Amino acid sequence: MSDQARQIIDYIVANIMRRKDVQIDENTPLVSSGLIDSLALIDLVQKLEEVTRTRIPAGKLQAKDMDTVQLMLNAASRVGKPRPPRP
């Protein structure tokens, strides 16, 4: 598992998921399984941008891009624009 995937999973478990008894990995369906709701996706996109050091243009992501951590990372790689690291 990549460091980026681990950071996103840790964020999801600590800040978004309501069910703390469920273990997730980079291929766990999150939205389609009901583990996270669509309202949490806004926060999750912000975390994805932070972790991947990209800016993801509004409208470039679809719901299906956010169902698993791996799909999120793939989408960030595909549509994200690099941004300089923060000091």
**The model's pTM:** 0.89
Judged against a pLDDT cut of 80, whether residue 86 lies above it is answered with no
State how many domains the chain has: 1
**pLDDT score at 18:** 83
Q: Is 72 among the domain residues? A: yes
Element (H, E) at 44: helix 41-52
Count of residues making up the chain: 87
Q: Is 37 among the domain residues? A: yes
**pLDDT score at 85:** 65
**20-79 pLDDT tens trace:** 889 999 999 999 999 998 889 999 999 999 999 999 997 899 889 999 999 999 999 999
- Contact between 53 and 82 (Cβ < 8 Å): yes
Q: Is 27 among the domain residues? A: yes
CATH number, domain at 52?
Answer: 1.10.1200.10
Beta bridge partner(s), residue 57: none
Q: Is 41 among the domain residues? A: yes
The closest alpha carbon to 46, from 55, 37, 34, 35, belongs to: 55
Q: Is 87 among the domain residues? A: no
User: For residue 67, what are the domain limits?
Assistant: 3-82
